[in-house]
Amino acid sequence: MKTIQIYDTTLRDGAQGEGVSFSLFDKLQIAKRLDEIGVDVIEGGYPLSNEKDADFFRKIAGESLSHAVVTAFGMTRRRGMSPAEDPGMQALLRAETAACTIVGKTWDYHVLEVLRVSLDENVAMIAETIEYLVAQGRRVFYDAEHFFDGWRANPTYAASTIRAAAQAGAELVVCCDTNGGTLPDELTAILGQAQAALAETRVGVGIHCHNDCELAVANSLAAVDAGAVQVQGTINGIGERCGNADLISIIANLALKKKGYRVLREGSLEHLTELSRFVYETANFNLRPGQPFVGQSAFAHKGGMHVHAVARAADTYEHIAPEKVGNERRILVSELSGRSNIASATAKFRLDQDRAVQERILDEVVKLENRGYQFEAAEASFDLLVRRCAGSFRPHFKRLKYHVEVGSHEDGSVVTEGTVKVQVGDSVRHEVSEGDGPVNALDGALRKALGDLFPKLRSMRLVDYKVRVVNSEAGTAARIRVSIESADDHDLWGTIGVSENIIEASWLALVDAIEYKLHKDEDAVAAGKG
């Protein structure tokens, strides 16, 4: 088994992606998660560029990382200046990391037109920078920027730059497809020539790919097969332009699909989904449902024929077991569903032998989806639908009336007031609450009405609220679909409401969310888990 080093640059290269802005706390939390899962090298940032990155290195030095090496990123010394005089070198040393990553120029065109130094001076800048840092006791990874563009343009010069880095003491030469425009066959051919150029130095190569041709993962895997011993990338592939190579997919492919490679530490793979979603949440990004291995749809089955097959032999439509990467199989219910979908989705109710109930459920799903409902992300509303069709639904309260009023004060501030009237048993509750909007006001009033009777509602909170027009051709009279995501201390669930009136749609989704919470808690108590 050949160990492949996983080098994460989420905190530096990933942070350059559009819309990404990590706080210092975010960076520290992500670094800890990366260490826990067994990432070998964590690139923390560029300490000369901003105070936050410099603070990160000061803070991370006080953390007890169990596995990962933290590296600080920097550039070669400036022209006409010794490394000891260069502010960038001093910032790297102040970071006090065990390793430094130095980026240098490989492409003669870039050297002459952008860096505007002679070709010989560029080679000297590479060598002198690395020699200086090694003399200061630092491990050095050398990132050869625009490596493949440079090799295509002038392979002799490109080879001289990476040999200078290796001879100066670089631990590894990382070949960067900076523009993301290299195809796998060309990449592996050039990588082989680079290794030949470095043969006398006995310094290995790594790979750093960008995703501008949607090939970053494929190129990274091809590079490993061609001899690369380190793979650089970011969690979920976030990064500048089209992003970086997605380490989630790279790790899963190397560990589960390819033979002969070892990555991360034992038992880490089942935490990949958790790590992926943690980084999305921290970056305030929406999850990519179709993301391979870890996406919510990666093991979701909707077509009746597929569901029927998966129920008998999961590997007929799944290339790996979802549990291996910490994901789960999902059976989706829609108007395309057959009995197999309904049977799988209602397994916990033990309705597999009740064909009449399954038919009622399927008929109800088809009817509601025709009105604009969609149960794929509203499993709680589907749960309640099944209970109603099976005759096991017992409402905890009766909805008598609701009212929402929106007005403004003289100072221009907007106030929203929600009023609800519900009946619980023989008791009628009539409550009012102000909120930041109609949904918040109704939620507050409903909790006032029910809270003392159902105290566990205090742990429930609204996590997300989405609105979508179902039939946009109807203009302002269009039907509205509202999806609400709720959570408590143990679970996350989705509900849905559809109406021509956005307040009514929201009310329906909100009532479902509360009913589901109450049923769920009762089921847990009955099962001895509450």
In the predicted model, what is the mean pLDDT of residues 210-215?
A: 98
What is the helix (H) or strand (E) element at residue 70, kind and residue range?
strand 69-75
Instruction: Judge residue 136's burial from the number of C-beta atoms within 10 Å of its C-beta, 0-12 exposed, 13-18 middle, 19 or more buried.
Output: middle
What is residue 7's predicted lDDT score, i.e. its pLDDT? 98
Q: What are the pLDDT digits (tens) for 39-87?
A: 999 999 999 988 999 999 999 999 999 999 999 999 999 998 999 999 9
Looking up tokens 């596995």 gives: 67
In which band, very low, low, confident or very high, does the pLDDT at 334 lie, cut at 50, 70 and 90?
low
157 contact partners, CB below 8 Å, separation of at least 6? 108, 119, 150
In the predicted model, what is the mean pLDDT of residues 488-516?
A: 92
In the sheet with 492-499, reading across from the earlier edge strand, the strands are 461-469, 480-487, 492-499
Q: What are the pLDDT digits (tens) for 274-327?
A: 999 999 988 988 889 899 999 988 998 877 677 778 777 888 889 999 999 999
Task: Give whole-number Cα distances, 23 to 11, 26, 47, 52, 475, in Å.
Answer: 10, 5, 15, 8, 42
What is the dihedral sign for C-alpha 41, 46, 47, 51? negative
Which residues share a beta bridge with 230? 5, 206
- pTM of the prediction? 0.75
Q: What are the pLDDT digits (tens) for 447-457?
A: 999 989 999 99
Tokens at 172, concatenated: 């590894």
What is the helix (H) or strand (E) element at residue 414, kind and residue range?
strand 414-424
